[in-house]
Amino acid sequence: MRSTRRGRNTAMSLLAATGLALSAACGAAGPAADDIDAPAESADFPRTVVHAMGETEIPAKPDRVVVLDSGELDDVTMLGIEPVGAVAPHLKTEGGFPEYLADLTENTVDVGPMEEPNLELIAELAPDLILSSKIRHEAIYEDLAAIAPTVFTETTGFPWKDNLAVHAEALGLEDEAADALAAYEAEAAALGTAIQEANGGEMPTVSVVRFLAGPTRLYQKATFSGVVLQDVGVLRPESQDVDDFALEVGPEEIDLADADLVFVTVADDPEKTEQEAAMDSPLWAEMEAVKNDQVFNVADEIWMSGIGIQAARQVLADLAEATGVELP
């Protein structure tokens, strides 16, 4: 099985590189790096943010931010803020913050676990903003709000672009977020054009397989990775061409994952998953992607847990490498 992986990016190099690439390929520049590093001081504070749990007044532009999920971590660091506290992805077996954000979280304190954040430690960090989601931490919202202004999105995953807008509003960085999103979307569209041209004018089908404790998941369109693949314009196999979360399968159904390109992530200790049984199955061996050496191992913390522009651009890089085209 082949493997693709991308290294770390800083917030400034990410946005600067995006802007340069789009200037050359698309005729539209992304946000300047120094705009992200030193955001405009004209943001209107105090402000009231309407969110999944109601309304929250934020008295001043936040500087000490705590984030309680990986999408929030991607968004905040992308916007040039190193959180004072954060939690690691809940299925990251080796612990710690995502490797692709390591340079942006060197001084961030781990306040996890995600399922039960350390409220006392969060309070000691004296945050002026806490970001999370209702699906993750509805039960402790009042406790968090008693520590600092707290803003929740409804859920995580597929609405990651809408979530970015909420986070940006709370931070007073709406323009920076909008520019970064537009730059990413232009890059995704340009990559799709390049892939189609390299594939004889046709779009390949792309399958996303996640091995984790319990049934294996084939990720569908209403997911973070599903949105990124849709932005690129690649096709999905029948099992995944559905506006839903995921199809759970056992080794006896693993051939439903077949496509021109198959991207595989592992969320748990492989011994706790059905990965070995699935890949030892005759059905796996008969898949066209397996026969054609078009199965790629990719990072679970990016494809599944990243849930932000920085992770999305890493997905684009994996797609470019797998298809043999240059990333626009």
Tens place of pLDDT per residue across the chain (328 aa): 665 544 434 333 344 333 333 333 333 333 333 444 444 444 599 999 999 999 999 999 999 999 999 999 999 999 999 999 999 987 766 678 999 999 999 999 999 999 999 999 999 999 999 999 999 999 999 999 999 999 999 999 999 999 999 999 999 999 999 999 999 999 999 999 999 999 999 999 999 999 999 999 999 999 999 999 999 999 999 999 999 999 999 999 999 999 999 999 999 888 899 999 999 999 999 999 999 999 999 999 999 999 999 999 999 999 999 999 999 8
Tokens of 57: 């007044």
Sign of CA dihedral 313, 314, 317, 319: negative
C-alpha 66/C-alpha 129 separation (Å) is 6
pLDDT recorded at residue 170 = 98
99: how many CB neighbours lie within 10 A of its CB?
16
pLDDT recorded at residue 239 = 97
In this structure, what DSSP letter does residue 128 have?
A: S
For residue 23, which amino acid is it?
S
Residues with Cβ < 8 Å from 299, sequence gap 6 or more?
A: 5, 6, 99, 100, 265, 314
Residues with Cβ < 8 Å from 58, sequence gap 6 or more?
A: 45, 46, 47, 48, 49, 128, 129, 149, 151, 170
Nearest to 290 by CA among 197, 180, 229, 207: 207
Q: Which residue is it, tokens 């404790």?
A: 213
pLDDT recorded at residue 89 = 84
C-alpha 211/C-alpha 298 separation (Å) is 12
End-to-end CA distance of the chain: 26
For residue 153, which amino acid is it?
T
pLDDT recorded at residue 31 = 39
66 exposed, middle or buried (CB, 10 Å; 0-12, 13-18, 19+)? buried
Structural domains present in the chain: 2-9+185-323 (3.40.50.1980), 31-177 (3.40.50.1980)
For the entire predicted model, the pTM comes to 0.87
pLDDT recorded at residue 94 = 67
Tokens of 114: 């995600």
pLDDT recorded at residue 90 = 72
Per residue, the 3-state secondary structure of 159-228, as one string, reads CHHHHHHHHHHHHCCHHHHHHHHHHHHHHHHHHHHHHHHHCCCCCCEEEEEEECCCCEEEECCCCHHHHH
Specify the pairing of strand 47-51 against strand 54-58.
antiparallel
Tokens of 166: 């909420």
Q: Which residue is it, tokens 């390109």?
A: 261
